[in-house]
Chain A
Amino acid sequence: GDSVTQMEGPVTLSEEAFLTINCTYTATGYPSLFWYVQYPGEGLQLLLKATKADDKGSNKGFEATYRKETTSFHLEKGSVQVSDSAVYFCALSLQGGSEKLVFGKGTKLTVNP
């Protein structure tokens, strides 16, 4: 079945460090790919998305590129801030039909000043 595998956490970085959170997927069709972020005490928020191969999603300095050849959608940020501390979820949705979301396990990021 369709699945998402995320880098195990937790991840702890110093402010201004480079961030990469790995995400790979398995899907029978051509999924849309998403990164969600969950700040403490809040609901999941859509951070960025990509709907087809080679698309790059970007938002708030975060980027992820849809790589069909490696079935990956790694999240990157060049310089993290303390305010980026949160749990990050990679997810996929198959286009058409009900488009249910399938999530990875989440990666907790802590950024220290």
Chain B
Amino acid sequence: SAVISQKPSRDICQRGTSLTIQCQVDSQVTMMFWYRQQPGQSLTLIATANQGSEATYESGFVIDKFPISRPNLTFSTLTVSNMSPEDSSIYLCSGRTGVGAETQYFGPGTRLLVL
């Protein structure tokens, strides 16, 4: 198993600013993911964070808006850039310890409100 923590747990930001969310896993994971959960919506995959290389983004998400780093096997960051009120969401970090979705664990999420 894996325990995933995120910082900050919540934040209120002004439009036009950027926020970096940190994700720390207590053990090495093979894959790390970032999701967004907008109010009343399902979890949507933003990107897969790749160690030592550029993240793989899903359709509708771009690196300029959501730059991601993954310097090692236990840590990743997601930056939400040039924020607007539409970016108000819960952002979740996730990691897999093995092969298959059943090995995937989730962090508690970062609740972001953009004014």
Q: Is A82's CB within 8 Å of the partner chain B?
A: no
How many chain B residues touch the partner (CB < 8 A)?
19
User: Within A26-70, which residues are at the interface with B (CB < 8 Å)?
Assistant: 32, 34, 36, 41-46, 49
> Contacts A43-B4, A43-B109: A4 and B100 contacting too (C-beta < 8 A)?
no
Question: How many A residues are at the interface, by size bracket?
Answer: 20 to 34
Indicate if the CB atoms of A43 and B108 lie closer than 8 Å: yes
With most chain A CB atoms within 10 A of its CB, the pick from B40, B42, B107 is B42
Indicate if the CB atoms of A101 and B92 lie closer than 8 Å: no
Q: How far is the CA of A10 from the CA of B71 in the complex (A)?
A: 40
The 8 A-B pairs with the shortest beta carbon distances in the complex, nearest first, are A93-B101, A43-B106, A44-B106, A103-B43, A103-B42, A105-B42, A43-B108, A43-B107
- Chain A residues with a Cβ under 8 A of chain B: 4, 32, 34, 36, 41-46, 49, 89, 91, 93, 98-101, 103-106
Q: A36-B106, A43-B106 are in contact. List 16 more A-B contacts (CB 8 A).
A: A4-B42, A32-B100, A32-B101, A43-B4, A43-B107, A44-B43, A44-B92, A46-B102, A89-B43, A93-B101, A98-B48, A100-B101, A101-B43, A101-B104, A104-B42, A105-B42
